[in-house]
Structure 1
Amino acid sequence: MDKKNFEAWLESVSVSFLTLTDPQKNETLDHLIGLSGAVQLRHLSNNLETLLKRDFLKLLPLELTFYLLKCACTEVWQAACRQLGWQIDDSIQSARHWKMIYLKAKLRMKQLKEQEAFETSSLIGHSARVYALFYKDGLLCTGSDDLSAKLWDVCTGQCIYGIQTHTCAAVKFDEQKLVTGSFDNTIACWEWSSGAKIQHFRGHTGAVFSIDYNDELDTLVSGSADFTVKVWSLSAGTCLNTLTGHTEWVTKVILQKSQVESVMHSPGDYILLSADKYEIKIWPIGREINCKCLKTLSVSEDRSVCLQPRLQFDGRYIVCSSDIGLYQWDFASYDILRVIKMLDSANLSLLSFGEVFALLFDTHYLYIMDLRTERITGRWPLPAYRKSKRGSSFLAGDTAWLNGLDGQNDAGLVFATSMPDHSIHLVLWKENG
């Protein structure tokens, strides 16, 4: 019997048990007609209970019973997981697997609501204010006004490397090197293992607030207080292009591949985004001198609304917070897809934006927003600290859980910020038993 015929046969079996047609049921109904009110209902309930509770699965062949129960249970738990926002891998046909994911995720949601999901710790080692933070794969890099940069293992709290640098306004690292943007208007590339300066980039006339780089392209980009964005050769240290058009400090640059098609770009094209207080500019990452801005995005033409110093771009969507709420643009069309307005948007800042959750914060709390309802589903108290106007002294940690809790991705760093006593305050997921 194929699946389609089996399902049709199963439905007919179910209907036969739930329809009052046999003489015994008719006799029961005839008797009940003569009863009144509550007595009739009670008698109906008592007499039909045994008739309607007969287990039709016992009439099926054993292998069909097992098949039915397995499929039903798996689909039920998968559906429950989908309601929590998790993307289901249909190749995993294990009810126990999806049940465990659901129960773990449900527990986390309860803990988030009751402020029991996180724990805190501190990293101590700098002797002056920490201005710059960058996180990757369980490692946190900190750049300080004490002319040093340190690399920390977040899980153990141990400092792995320490390098003498210039004063750091921005940092980014990989396994071999550290790149720093400085208040001395320059950028430098350092080798972790020796602490040696590999390359020095000179050309900005203001502090360098943001950097990004790509080894495949051999390209470094930087945003500065001199209102410009510069494109550099990462290996040679030479400036390839200076992009103008901003009229405020450029506080964020992002170098990313496009994942969508439009009139101006194709999937796989590298795109540069730069942001100031009021505008986000989109550039092709070409080597031509007369590079033209593809598009300028803003939330108010009269500059009455300020953008917050945090920008997110994943190749499909651009997300930024402002004084009046969160904005999400479609990168293919540049249309605004969504505006999430909140009561206290002027003081709320965006940390990270996923498919299911967004992570936000102000000077008092860390907030988890469910993007399906646009409601705050949890919060966590934060100690008193100073929010950077450039958005560099705070960051989100591991963000996979923002696309849906899967029972495993609720681990590691959630949030980090620098403190007035020169320490770094960490918020981490509390381990679940």
Structure 2
Amino acid sequence: MEKKDFEVWLENLSATFYTLTDLQKNETLDHLISLSGAVQLRHLSNNLETLLKRDFLRLLPLELSFYLLKWLDPQTLLTCCLVSKQWNKVISACTEVWQTACRHLGWQIDETVQDTSHWKKVYLKAAIRMKQLEDHEAFQTASLIGHSARVYALYYKDGLLCTGSDDLSAKLWDVSTGQCIYGIQTHTCAAVTFDEQKLVTGSFDNTVACWDWSTGAKTQNFRGHTGAVFSVDYNDELDLLVSGSADNTVKTWALSSGTCLNTLTGHTEWVTKVVLQKCEVESIMHSPGDFILLSADKYEIKIWPIGREINCECLKTLYVSDDRSICLQPRLHFDGKYIVCSSALGLYQWDFASYEIRRIIKMPDSTNLSLLGFGDIFALLFDNRNLYIMDLRTEKLISRWPLPEYRKSKRGSSFLAGEIDWLNGLDGVNDLGLVFATSMPDHSIHLVMWKENS
């Protein structure tokens, strides 16, 4: 048959073939195959594999491939990565998919990272860490031994833990090594806070003192309270120290001279917590950058302006029960935008701009959890038996860790959270170091640390 005649015949045959039903098409193919010789059958075999096993992910435009991949869950995507090198390359480069998966796990996302394969690696690390949390295997424990009497006061900052004890000493520990860096003789410590040069202590002897780490010398003494000083905070920029006491007052002091600037009254119970912090929101009463003082007792949180040493009046009093039947837990969280405290009714979060209750998180039945730390994604809580992590997006407890019989403290000074940046979202770097510390009946300090994420 001439080529021209063949082309006409093939065109007519094709047109007729298209009009057939599927069954008729199959019968036609069966008949043609039965008429074929070895050459035709070999040709058919070679082409069928290409037609039937077409790699759509390789053939599609990259943008369309990424769109399709968004519909798959991460575990399915990881399985798809095993299909071929090409599939692994395309799937690993789908940044948005892996970033979304990381966010779902509560991971912080730095969108400035340009490496397309970075986020799949982050997801794999995140998945391992979250699995450890769910299986209650994310932490490990350690102990610090060195005090000879009960440890009443703890304070943590930048990898260093300060402890104050009834043995009339305070010690500064490197948590990563367990080594004591400084040990100085003090009074009985009910509260401690520090920086690189100095230690500030509140005492059961009703005084506040400032000490030099390198020499152990007392550089300043603050006298005026008539009850034990349970909480202290200070700011070098303001040259200001604040203290809360069992005499139901808050005092502000000139840090450099020890002069009492003001005595803030209004509390009717022991003041167990004072926090000096910059405000980050705008309102009628304060602007971003203003320093604010918070003080808490058994039932109330009071908010005070800073910078008005004379006639300083309370801006607002916060509480969870009108009849004062519900006690607040001694821990208090304030990040400049929100105030968070726990009680038997649950976690209360106040908006600092309006002082209105923004959120109430009820605790699970038959639990009375106390607050240690509160972030954008997670909260750290504990009770007499366990340390807990709550996912604040679902308000569900996602992990727990057993605690020993630690020394109880109604003032909350004998237990504290360590690193808290991870509460705003893990990132694979901030899940290191100290999680929780508490003093033990044998005068040691029990540490809960992040386990290394391999």
Which bin holds the TM-score, normalised by the shorter protein? 0.7 to 0.9
Whole-angstrom distance in 2 between the partners of 1:208 and 1:172 = 13
User: 1:385–1:237: structure 2 CA closer, same or farther, 3 Å change rule?
Assistant: same
| Residue type at the aligned position of 1:277 | K
Q: After the TM superposition, which residues 280-429 of structure 1 pair with which residues of structure 2 at under 5 Å, given as runs?
A: 280-343=301-364, 347-429=368-450
For 1:155, the equivalent position in structure 2 comes to: 176
- Mark the runs of 5 or more structure 2 residues left unpaired by the alignment: 1-13, 27-47, 67-85
For 2:166, the equivalent position in structure 1 comes to: 145
Whole-angstrom distance in 2 between the partners of 1:26 and 1:163 = 95
Could you tell me which of 99, 121, 127 is aligned with 1:100? 121
Whole-angstrom distance in 2 between the partners of 1:293 and 1:25 = 90
Query: Offset of 1:102 from its aligned partner?
Result: 1.4
Q: 2:223 matched to 1:202? A: yes
Contact 2:407 2:438 in 1 (8 A): no
Query: Offset of 1:432 from its aligned partner?
Result: 2.0
Query: Offset of 1:33 from its aligned partner?
Result: 12
Contact 1:131 1:170 in 2 (8 A): yes
Deviations 1:286-331 (A, max 9, x none): 2332101000000011011110000010000000000110011111
Q: After the TM superposition, which residues 180-259 of structure 1 pair with which residues of structure 2 at under 5 Å, given as runs?
A: 180-259=201-280
User: 1:369–1:331: structure 2 CA closer, same or farther, 3 Å change rule?
Assistant: same
Contact 2:92 2:120 in 1 (8 A): no
RMSD, aligned CA: 2.7
User: 1:304–1:114: structure 2 CA closer, same or farther, 3 Å change rule?
Assistant: same
Whole-angstrom distance in 1 between the partners of 2:433 and 2:133 = 15
User: 1:71–1:413: structure 2 CA closer, same or farther, 3 Å change rule?
Assistant: closer
| Residue type at the aligned position of 2:230 | F
Query: Offset of 1:53 from its aligned partner?
Result: 5.0
Contact 2:349 2:359 in 1 (8 A): yes
Paired residue secondary structure (1:95)? coil
Whole-angstrom distance in 2 between the partners of 1:282 and 1:157 = 38
For 1:126, the equivalent position in structure 2 comes to: 147
Whole-angstrom distance in 1 between the partners of 2:20 and 2:148 = 87
Q: How many residues align?
A: 397
Whole-angstrom distance in 2 between the partners of 1:166 and 1:202 = 13
Whole-angstrom distance in 1 between the partners of 2:184 and 2:354 = 44
Query: Offset of 1:80 from its aligned partner?
Result: 1.0
Paired residue secondary structure (2:117)? helix
Query: Offset of 1:94 from its aligned partner?
Result: 2.1
Whole-angstrom distance in 1 between the partners of 2:18 and 2:375 = 58
Query: Offset of 1:73 from its aligned partner?
Result: 1.0
Whole-angstrom distance in 1 between the partners of 2:16 and 2:208 = 89
Could you tell me which of 270, 277, 284 is aligned with 1:263? 284
Whole-angstrom distance in 2 between the partners of 1:69 and 1:25 = 39
Query: Offset of 1:285 from its aligned partner?
Result: 0.7
What percentage of residue pairs aligned between the two structures are identical? Answer: 75
- Mark the runs of 5 or more structure 1 residues left unpaired by the alignment: 1-21, 35-46
Stretch of structure 1 that moved more, 153-162 or 285-294: 285-294
For 1:55, the equivalent position in structure 2 comes to: 56
Q: After the TM superposition, which residues 104-119 of structure 1 pair with which residues of structure 2 at under 5 Å, given as runs?
A: 104-119=125-140
Q: 2:52 matched to 1:31? A: no
Query: Offset of 1:221 from its aligned partner?
Result: 0.3
Deviations 1:163-186 (A, max 9, x none): 100000000000000000000000
User: 1:96–1:56: structure 2 CA closer, same or farther, 3 Å change rule?
Assistant: closer
Paired residue secondary structure (1:426)? strand
| Residue type at the aligned position of 2:391 | D
Deviations 1:171-229 (A, max 9, x none): 00000000000000000000000000000000000000000000000000000000000
Could you tell me which of 136, 140, 145 is aligned with 2:157? 136
Query: Offset of 1:387 from its aligned partner?
Result: 2.1
Paired residue secondary structure (1:101)? helix
Deviations 1:108-135 (A, max 9, x none): 1111111211110110000000000000
Contact 1:138 1:154 in 2 (8 A): yes
Contact 1:257 1:270 in 2 (8 A): yes
Query: Offset of 1:409 from its aligned partner?
Result: 1.1
User: 1:194–1:97: structure 2 CA closer, same or farther, 3 Å change rule?
Assistant: same
Scaled by the length of structure 1, the TM-score of the pair is: 0.86
User: 1:276–1:28: structure 2 CA closer, same or farther, 3 Å change rule?
Assistant: farther
User: 1:99–1:164: structure 2 CA closer, same or farther, 3 Å change rule?
Assistant: same
Scaled by the length of structure 2, the TM-score of the pair is: 0.82
Whole-angstrom distance in 1 between the partners of 2:21 and 2:226 = 93
Whole-angstrom distance in 2 between the partners of 1:214 and 1:25 = 88
Paired residue secondary structure (1:82)? helix
Whole-angstrom distance in 2 between the partners of 1:56 and 1:23 = 32
Whole-angstrom distance in 2 between the partners of 1:121 and 1:342 = 29
User: 1:96–1:128: structure 2 CA closer, same or farther, 3 Å change rule?
Assistant: same
Whole-angstrom distance in 2 between the partners of 1:173 and 1:239 = 20
| Residue type at the aligned position of 2:299 | Y
Higher relative contact order (CA 8 A, sep 6+): 1
Whole-angstrom distance in 1 between the partners of 2:54 and 2:241 = 70
Paired residue secondary structure (2:262)? strand
| Residue type at the aligned position of 1:55 | F
Which structure's CA Rg is the greater one? 2
Contact 2:380 2:387 in 1 (8 A): yes
User: 1:410–1:304: structure 2 CA closer, same or farther, 3 Å change rule?
Assistant: same
| Residue type at the aligned position of 2:292 | I
Q: After the TM superposition, which residues 75-94 of structure 1 pair with which residues of structure 2 at under 5 Å, given as runs?
A: 75-94=96-115
For 1:175, the equivalent position in structure 2 comes to: 196
